[in-house]
Amino acid sequence: MRSALNTHRTPNYFELLGLKPQFLLDEQDLQARWKERAAQVHPDRFASGTAAEKRIAMQWSAELNEAYRVLRDPVARAKYLIEINGYPVEEKPGQQLDLEFLEQQMSWRETLEALRDNQDTGGNSMQQLQALAAEVQQAQQQCVSKLAQLIEAQCWPQAAKALQQWMFIEKFNQEVLRATATVA
């Protein structure tokens, strides 16, 4: 990694951690690689170095920490992979989502709102919320699986769309979990 301190081009996050650019990663391997490389460029190792060496060590340390933060989060990792391959992912998807997916989202939202409005019916609301949560989680798993396949096949525009769907589902899943917690 010391040689990395001398380069002018910043490698992508996968290169920085010595990983193949792919969606599916071994989290323990990722953590081990990060720790190993972080130790190599830790600013304390350059305490007696020049001001420039100290500054560069701090920059590499910060870059490694950011790489680890992004790559350990599956959504951020997918977004990063898609974007380094030339396909920006919008944070607020809109017209790019297909009609069937948007209709499903509307149906889920209507169901959730109806359940929130009828919380006083007791156990029945909880059962319906749990059923909705299970349906949303299953859709999320299918979306992640599809996304992994699209990334593996390097179908970047379709992967960007699948990621937007996953982000949509993930956000809705959080709403369902909050609603479940308030009914319980």
Query: What's the pLDDT at 98?
Result: 84
The per-residue pLDDT for range 50-95, each reduced to its tens digit, is 888 888 889 999 999 999 999 999 999 999 999 999 998 876 555 5
User: Residue ranges per domain, the chain?
Assistant: 2-72, 99-183
The per-residue pLDDT for range 85-95, each reduced to its tens digit, is 999 887 655 55
Query: What's the pLDDT at 9?
Result: 59
Which of the four pLDDT bands, split at 50, 70 and 90, describes residue 1? very low
Domain covering 2-72 in this structure, CATH number: 1.10.287.110
Query: What's the pLDDT at 3?
Result: 45
Kindly indicate whether the domain formed by 99-183 is annotated with CATH number 3.40.50.720.
no
Evaluated on CA atoms 35, 38, 44, 45, the torsion sign reads positive
Give one DSSP letter per residue of 38-75, joined into a string. Answer: HHHH-GGGGTTS-HHHHHHHHHHHHHHHHHHHHHHSHH
The per-residue pLDDT for range 7-62, each reduced to its tens digit, is 455 689 999 999 999 999 999 999 999 999 999 988 888 888 888 888 888 999 99
By CB atoms closer than 10 A (0-12, 13-18, 19+), residue 141 is exposed
Query: What's the pLDDT at 4?
Result: 44
